[in-house]
Every structure is written in structure tokens, then in C-alpha cells.
Amino acid sequence: MKNSPENPQFSSTRTTQTTISTTTTSTSTTTEFQAVDDDWDKPFSNEELEAIEAAFEAATLTLSSSSIKTPRRTSVVIDDEENARPTTRRRLPGSISCSNAELGSPLNAGSFALTPCSRNWAFPQGNVKMKYQALNFGGRIVYSRSTEEVEEATLQILEFLEAQKRKSGRAVLGLDIEWKPSFDRGIPQGKAAVMQICGDMNICYVLHIFHSGIPGSLQSLLEDSTYIKVGVGIDNDAVKVFHDHNVSIKSLEDLSSLANQKLGGVPKQWSLSSLVETFICKQLLKPKKIRLGNWEADPLSKAQLQYAATDAFASWFLYEVLQSFQELPENQKKN
């Protein structure tokens, strides 16, 4: 819902009102948002462009001289010959699992590499923006709506995370949330309704927590500090989840701060869209009809599922790209 030039990053303050009756206790949370200026539309200075170009060159040289190979991307096959399933599936009930082909976004194995994109920094004065192809998650999207489905999806995520820890010593998830906005004064924003989680190019999970709640297994995953959760404005997302669902999300890494740390110079207030354009050379589409739509709807549309999965995928992908940048000496001294 956030992190685009059209919808700047928000900081939040909340007032909680509790009404107690003889039989039930209901809690309603009023959320007020205060806009924070986004620096993306401001032109880069020559010094900033030179710093970014130097960082790109250093990252490219480091990766080309290392023995680390870019992970090979494989297609996810939903239906096999032995267990043939109909191409038309019921959406109710059950956890929805759909490939990118079903969502109208063809998989292109050559579209992504976990390295910074090559770009021409010789922009004319005035910081002309480049036109890039749209970024779309091209793997499998698992959509879970009931408590049981979310628990099953969480177990799959945990298995994946433990495998990643054994393989590389760390486990990273791109994480984002969506909620139903309010356009009327005095009516609070909706609760955190959707949580999207992605940890590789093959599969992303869209959890409809407005309907399922956050079961114990998912709470344990979110509160586990050994699993890194990354995103832009992720601290604000964690605050909202805590206020709406009383669950803490630990071990957070904000991508805007990480980009500033890697690039140095005057810090910028990066949005997710601006980071995608700068480091991946793709355009992250943020149509208002989807971004400001009803995320409490049951079920979500395919367009909403694609939007949610792409945001979480972009966060994970950006983290991996930014990790390829060398740490600046002045930042090493601070850490």
C-alpha cells in the first residue's frame, strides 16, 4: 500500500479505544497517518550519481571475480502427468495456488539475476527518468485464507527457511502488508488484512490474515529473530501488525536504510518503486485501483494476488542485490 511516489511512506500514531460489556471485549484501533517526504522525485546531484555509479562498478567487479554462481531459475510445475488436475479449479474453499501463467505474467528465466542491473548514468541535467519494463513476480503464488491454510503455508515457509540457513547460514524473507484504506474523516484505516511473504524466485505466499488471524505458527515465525524480514518502511508495518494483531515482528531490515548505507552520501528517502528502478532497472507498477482497493475482500482478485506477491518478491530481490555491494569504509567503522 505504500512506497510509491504517488503514496509516500507513512509514519503512524495510534489511539486505542476499548469497550467492555458483560459478554465480550472489543478493541477498535484508530490510526492516523502523517506523510513523510519522498526524495525520489528530486534530481540526483552529480556527486550522488558518481557515488551510485562507483558502487555499481564495485559490485559488478566483486561478483565477476568471485566463484559464486547465480542460482539457476527453474519453473514451478503445478500439474504433472501422474497427478493430473483440471486446469479450472474451485476458488472456494481451499488454499489457492496459482502459477504466473494463470495470472497472465509469462515466466522469463532470463529476466533476473541477483546482481545490480547495468544502466547509463550519463543523464542530462534535470535527472531524466528512464522507461523500464514492469516487474512482475513470475513464480507460483500460494494464497491462504483460513487458519488451517495459513498454518500449512507457514510450515512450508519454515521448512524453506531452515533449508536456507543450512545452505547459506542465513534466511531472508521479503515481507509486506496491505490493508483497506479509509477515505472518510473519522473512519479508521482497516486492520492489517494481507501479509505477503517471499524468499526466492519460485514461490510467494499471500496470507489473508484479516480472515485467518495470525495463528501460533505464523506468530513464532514472525517473532523469530534468526529469520531476517526485509522491506521498505517495514518498521511501520511491524507497528501496525502489533497494534492490529498483537504480534511482534522481529529482525527487521529496512531497504531504504540499507541502500543509503551501501551508497553513502546524503541519505535519501527511497520508496520501493525507486529502489526497483535504480537497482533492478524495472518499473514497479502501483495502480491506485489495486493499491487502494479492498484488501478485506474474500477472496482477493488475481490482480491483487499478483500485486501483493510482486511487492514481497521485489523486497527480497532488492535485499539480495544490495548485499552484492561492498560496504563503504566509513560505514564499516560505524558498525
Model confidence pTM above 0.85: no
pLDDT digits (tens, 9 = 90+) for 304-328: 999 999 999 999 999 999 998 876 5
Distance separating alpha carbons of residues 284 and 311, to the nearest angstrom: 8
- Residue 80 inside a domain? The answer is no
Q: Which domain holds residue 326?
A: 44-68+91-334
> Which of 73-87, 182-196, 201-215, 280-294 shows the lowest mean pLDDT across its residues?
73-87
pLDDT digits (tens, 9 = 90+) for 45-86: 666 666 666 666 666 555 555 444 444 433 333 333 333 333
- Residue 284 inside a domain? The answer is yes
Encode 113-155 in three state secondary structure.
Answer: CCCCCCCCCCCCCCCCCCCCCECCCCCEEEEECCHHHHHHHHH
Copy the grid coordinates of residue 265: 552520501
- Residue 114 inside a domain? The answer is yes
Residue 54 has what pLDDT? 66
- Residue 205 inside a domain? The answer is yes
Domain count, the chain: 1
pLDDT confidence tier of residue 264, bands split at 50, 70 and 90: confident
- Residue 297 inside a domain? The answer is yes
Give just the sign of the alpha carbon dihedral 267, 268, 271, 272. negative
pLDDT digits (tens, 9 = 90+) for 142-155: 999 999 999 999 99
The CATH number for 54's domain is 3.30.420.10
pLDDT confidence tier of residue 131, bands split at 50, 70 and 90: confident
